[in-house]
Amino acid sequence: MLGVLFFLLIVAVIAIIIAVALYNKLVYLRISRENSMQQITTKLTAQFTYLQQLSDSYQFAEKDRKKLSALLTRRQKAHTLQERITAANTLEQLFDLLQNEQTKMSNQEQGIYKKIAALRDTLQEEKRYFNHLTKERNARLQMFPTNMLAQLI
């Protein structure tokens, strides 16, 4: 009888340890995703700041200036994540425009352009990392027994 109780106690302790580990992993993934999104938001903000500087100093063609102005206005009004993503996707079109204009820019403007390009590269890395965390978290939320613990979060 004592042996059975001891065995059940060990099984219960192991189950609790496993549940705590799974719960902690879910919390870790949630926090990591939030941090990654904050990094993306920070880099997008920096990118738009540099675009604003470039817009103020470089003399774009009128149609390009209107595009840039519309993009910057959309970014300033973007509050939700989806609005920011939409504004960032529009940024890719503008980046192509900047590549074509690069030879006409002054050294200072080319320096700003290079900062935008560097941010673009690191932003792509951040997006990949965020997507990786999202996929891992979603997969864990669907697996047993993590899906039962996910209801607690």
CA angle 128, 101, 52 (to 5 degrees): 65
Average pLDDT value for the chain: 82
Enclosing domain of residue 140? 36-150
- Neighbour-count burial of 58, counting CB atoms closer than 10 A to its CB (0-12 exposed, 13-18 middle, 19+ buried): buried
Is residue 47 domain-resident? yes
User: Is residue 81 in some structural domain?
Assistant: yes
- Structural domain contains residue 41: yes
Look at phi and psi of residue 144 and say left if phi exceeds 0, alpha if psi is from -120 to 50, else beta: beta
Number of domains in the chain: 1
Q: What is the pLDDT of residues 25-71, one digit of tens each?
A: 999 999 999 999 899 888 888 888 887 787 777 676 667 777 777 77
Q: Is residue 4 in some structural domain?
A: no
Coil vs helix vs strand at 71: helix
**Is residue 65 situated within a structural domain?**
yes
Q: Could you tell me if residue 59 is inside a domain?
A: yes
In-domain check, residue 89: yes
In a domain, 23, yes or no: no
In this structure, are residues 72 and 48 in contact, taking their beta carbons and an 8 Å threshold?
yes
> Would you place residue 76 in the very low, low, confident or very high pLDDT band (cuts 50, 70, 90)?
confident
Q: Is 0.85 topped by the overall pTM?
A: no
- Amino acid 60: pLDDT: 66
DSSP codes of every residue in 97-124 = HHHHHGGGS-HHHHHHHHHHHHHHHHHH
User: Where residue 104 falls among pLDDT bands split at 50, 70, 90?
Assistant: confident
DSSP letter (8 states) at residue 153: -
Mean pLDDT across 115-136: 90
